[in-house]
Amino acid sequence: MIVRMKNKVIKPVLLAAVIIGILATAIQAETLVIAGRDGGYAKALKMAVEMYKSKHPGLKVERLELPYGGLLEKSTISLRERAGSYDVIMLDDTWAVEFMSNGWLMDLETLGTPIDKDFIKPTKDVSRFPVGTGPFYAVPFVGNVELFAYRSDLLKKYGFKKPGSWSDVVTAARTISEKEKGVSGVVFRGTKGNPIVTGFLPVLWAHGARIVGPDGSAKLDSPAALEALKTYLSLKPYAPRGVETYNSSEVRDALMQGTTAMAIELWPSWAPSLDDPEKSKVVGKIEIMAAPGQTEGSAPMLGSWLLAVPADAKNAKRARDFIDFLTSAEMQKRLAMELGTPPTRTSVYQDRDVIAKYRWYPAQLNALQNAKPRPRITQWSEVEAIMGDYLQLALIGEMKPERALAEANKKIARALKY
Tell me the per-residue pLDDT of 333-356, one tens digit each, with 9 for 90 and over.
999 999 999 999 999 999 999 999
In terms of Cα–Cα distance, which of 82, 87, 27, 95 is closest to 63?
87
* Mean pLDDT of all residues in 257-281: 96
Residue ranges of the domains in the chain? Answer: 8-143+304-369, 147-301+379-415
Where residue 82 falls among pLDDT bands split at 50, 70, 90?
very high
Distance CA 376, CA 186 (A): 30
Examine the pLDDT at 3 and tell me if it is beyond 60.
no
| Residue type for position 326 | L
Where residue 304 falls among pLDDT bands split at 50, 70, 90?
very high
User: Is the CA virtual torsion 82, 83, 87, 93 positive or negative?
Assistant: negative
The reported pLDDT for the residue numbered 12 is: 52
The reply to whether 8-143+304-369 and 147-301+379-415 are identical in fold is yes
Cis amide linkage into residue 300, ω under 30° from 0? no
Distance CA 360, CA 349 (A): 10
Examine the pLDDT at 1 and tell me if it is beyond 50.
no
Phi, psi (rounded to 5 degrees) for 140: -70, 130
Examine the pLDDT at 135 and tell me if it is beyond 70.
yes
Give long-range contacts, CB 8 A cutoff, 24+ apart: 198-201: 198/146, 198/265, 198/301, 199/232, 199/264, 199/265, 200/228, 200/229, 200/232, 200/387, 200/391, 201/146, 201/299, 201/301, 201/372, 201/374
Instruction: Write the DSSP string, 100-142.
Output: HHTT-B--GGGSSSPPPTTB-HHHHHTTBSSTTTS-B--EEEE
CATH architecture of the domain covering 8-143+304-369: 3-Layer(aba) Sandwich (3.40)
DSSP 277: T
Examine the pLDDT at 102 and tell me if it is beyond 80.
yes
Distance CA 148, CA 283 (A): 17
Where residue 418 falls among pLDDT bands split at 50, 70, 90?
confident
DSSP 291: P
Q: What is the pLDDT of residues 194-212, one digit of tens each?
A: 999 999 999 999 999 999 9
CB 368, CB 181: distance < 8 Å = no
The reported pLDDT for the residue numbered 259 is: 98
Q: In terms of pLDDT, which residue wins out, 25 or 121?
A: 121
* Mean pLDDT of all residues in 233-260: 97
C-alpha triplet 195, 79, 114: angle, nearest 5°: 85
pLDDT averaged over every residue in the chain: 93
Examine the pLDDT at 24 and tell me if it is beyond 60.
no
Residue 109 CA neighbour count, 13 Å, CB half: 8
CA torsion angle 147 164 212 235 (round to 10): -80
- Enumerate residues 6+ apart whose C-beta is below 8 A from 238: 170, 173, 174, 176, 177, 184, 185, 186
Phi, psi (rounded to 5 degrees) for 305: -105, 140
* Mean pLDDT of all residues in 390-415: 98
What SS3 state is found at 373?
coil
Distance CA 332, CA 182 (A): 41
How deeply is 203 buried, as exposed, middle or buried, from its count of CB atoms within 10 A (0-12, 13-18, 19+)? buried
Examine the pLDDT at 179 and tell me if it is beyond 60.
yes
**Percent of all residues in the chain with a pLDDT value above 70, rounded to a whole number:** 93
Distance CA 126, CA 376 (A): 9
Distance CA 312, CA 226 (A): 46
Multiple choice CATH, 147-301+379-415, 3.90.1150.10, 3.40.190.10, 2.60.120.460, 3.40.50.300: 3.40.190.10
Phi, psi (rounded to 5 degrees) for 400: -65, 145
Where residue 10 falls among pLDDT bands split at 50, 70, 90?
very low
The reported pLDDT for the residue numbered 365 is: 98
- Enumerate residues 6+ apart whose C-beta is below 8 A from 117: none
Examine the pLDDT at 277 and tell me if it is beyond 70.
yes
Where residue 6 falls among pLDDT bands split at 50, 70, 90?
very low
β-strand pairing of 305-308 with 139-142: antiparallel
CA torsion angle 181 187 192 193 (round to 10): 170
Examine the pLDDT at 19 and tell me if it is beyond 50.
no
DSSP 245: G
CB 119, CB 140: distance < 8 Å = yes
Distance CA 192, CA 315 (A): 42
Where residue 30 falls among pLDDT bands split at 50, 70, 90?
confident
Examine the pLDDT at 14 and tell me if it is beyond 80.
no
